[in-house]
Structure 1
Amino acid sequence: MNYTFIGDIHSAADDLEVLLQAQDIQGSRLIFLGDYIDGVSTRTGTHTTDSLEPLKVLDIVMDRVRHYEDVALLGNHDDFWLQTAYGDDLSYQTWRLNGGANTWRQLGIHSNSPIIVTDALNQQPLARYTKFLAQLPLSWSTASLLAVHAGIDWNFPVDQQVRDDMMWIRDDYYFDKTKNFHPNKIGRIMVTGHTPVQSIKNDGYGFLKMQADPQDTPRYLIDAGSRSGAANGGIFALTLSETGDVLAKNWVIKQQLLDGNLPHLYD
């Protein structure tokens, strides 16, 4: 079986619908890397305004999981929703400052009151989404592959990772103390999202291949900046074989399906 890993979506239902029609991914099992909600509607340096449809994205992902046996991982933004529904005030405050206030309006919640927001997330029509998010795993793996939303702490085995690192870690996962790419200590190909590639290396590519040296087992970062404000922000899909061979790269920007092997820069 082949596997297609799909990076952060952030409410871009229109781009996701286009991506799912890509010929290269048909018949492969989809692994969504999390962050289905939140996002911004504007792009740096442009007059483009994008739609934000968090519930439509969740509906699409839920359908894929339930009817196609695809996999959806929990991202940190999705966890904002979940922990706020559980009544955690810190998560509510963090979410409010990181896209939540806008997302609540898109969910039909017209208040910033934590009590009202929490109550709405636990009642229909939103309760079914809360229930779905609550059962999402933090990782997915085979003998050759490992996918998590953010990354892992290299100081601990995979089975001893803490929840926050798997959803939040950044530089300590990417780089060593000399700011070179950290060696892959687990020997499995890893695929992650969480950090837009444009914030690390803005060269027009929608993915970042990380290797400490040519013999190092590769890691792929495929958050292509969907609804992040990046001018070329979009959703990236990386298709791998069971042994980790790269079979296809697809990238959707502004509802256009593009060759993910090539750079795409927008002025």
Structure 2
Amino acid sequence: MQYTFIGDIHSAADDLKVLLQAKSIQNSRLVFLGDYIDGRGSRNGSNHSDTLEPLAVLDIIMTRVNKYGDIALLGNHDDFWLQTAYGDDLIYQNWRLNGGARTWHQLGIHSSNLTVIADALNQEPLSRYTKFLTQLPLTWENQAMMAMHAGIDWTYPLDQQVRDDLLWIRDDYYFDQATQWHHNLTKKVMITGHTPVQTIQDDGYGLIKMQADEQDVPRYLIDAGSRSGAQNGGIFALTLSENGDVIAKNWVVNGQLLDGNFPYLQA
């Protein structure tokens, strides 16, 4: 079996529909890395306006999971929804500042009051999405590969990872103390999203391959900056064999399906 890992989507239902038509992923088990909601409708240096459809994205993900047996992992933005539904004031405030206010309007919630928002998330028509998000795992792995939304803390064993690190960690996962790529201590190919590649290495590619040296087992960062404001932001799909070998790279920018082996500098 081959697996296709799909990076952060952030309400880009139009690009997701295009990506799912790519021929090279049709025989794959899909693994979505989280962050299905929130996002920006504008791009840096462009007057083009992107559509934001969080519920349409969730409908697609739910269908893929329920009908085709694909895997969807929880992202930190999806967790904003969950924790706000539980009434967590601190998370609600964080969500409000990180795309929540815009998303609430798209969900048909015309209030910024925590109680009103939490009630709406726990009632129809939104409660079925809340229920779906509560069931999403934080990690996925087989004998050769491991995936999660953000990464892991190298100072702890895999069975002692903290939930917030799996959803939020950045530099401590990517780099060592000398700001070089950290060695992959798991010995498994790792695939994560969470941090747009453009904020680390803006060379026009939608993926970063992280290896401390030639012997190091690779780690892939595949958040291609969908609805992040990046000029070439899109959704990236990395297709790997069961042993973690690269089979295909695809990404979609502005509705165009592109070969992920090449850069895309202009949006």
Q: What is the letter of the counterpart of residue 256 of structure 1?
A: Q
Q: Does 1:5 align with 2:8?
A: no
Q: What is the letter of the counterpart of residue 166 of structure 2?
A: M
Aligned to 2:123: 123
Aligned to 1:218: 218
Tell me how far apart the structure 2 counterparts of residues 195 and 167 of structure 1 sit (CA, whole Å): 11
Tell me how far apart the structure 2 counterparts of residues 177 and 153 of structure 1 sit (CA, whole Å): 13
Tell me how far apart the structure 2 counterparts of residues 256 and 158 of structure 1 sit (CA, whole Å): 38
SS of residue matched to 2:83: helix
Q: Which runs of 5+ in 1 are unaligned?
A: none
Give, in angstroms, the shift of residue 159 of structure 1: 1.4
Aligned to 1:62: 62
SS of residue matched to 1:238: strand
Give, in angstroms, the shift of residue 52 of structure 1: 0.1
Deviations 1:66-109 (A, max 9, x none): 00000000000000000000000011000000000000000000
Give, in angstroms, the shift of residue 156 of structure 1: 1.1
Deviations 1:176-232 (A, max 9, x none): 000000000010000000000000000000000000001100000000000000000
Give, in angstroms, the shift of residue 48 of structure 1: 0.9
SS of residue matched to 2:185: coil
Give, in angstroms, the shift of residue 162 of structure 1: 0.7
Q: What is the letter of the counterpart of residue 87 of structure 1?
A: G
Tell me how far apart the structure 1 counterparts of residues 29 and 242 of structure 2 sit (CA, whole Å): 11
**How do 1:41-56 residues align onto structure 2 when only pairs under 5 Å count?**
41-56=41-56
Aligned to 1:242: 242
Q: Which runs of 5+ in 2 are unaligned?
A: none
Aligned to 1:20: 20
Give, in angstroms, the shift of residue 157 of structure 1: 1.4
Aligned to 2:89: 89
Structure 1 segments (4+ residues) deviating >3 Å: none
Q: What root-mean-square deviation, in Å, do the aligned CA atoms of Structure 1 and Structure 2 show?
A: 0.5
Give, in angstroms, the shift of residue 138 of structure 1: 0.1
Tell me how far apart the structure 1 counterparts of residues 48 and 20 of structure 2 sit (CA, whole Å): 23
SS of residue matched to 2:52: coil
Tell me how far apart the structure 2 counterparts of residues 97 and 266 of structure 1 sit (CA, whole Å): 29
Q: What is the letter of the counterpart of residue 175 of structure 2?
A: F
Tell me how far apart the structure 2 counterparts of residues 117 and 109 of structure 1 sit (CA, whole Å): 7
Give, in angstroms, the shift of residue 239 of structure 1: 0.1
Aligned length: 267
SS of residue matched to 1:258: strand
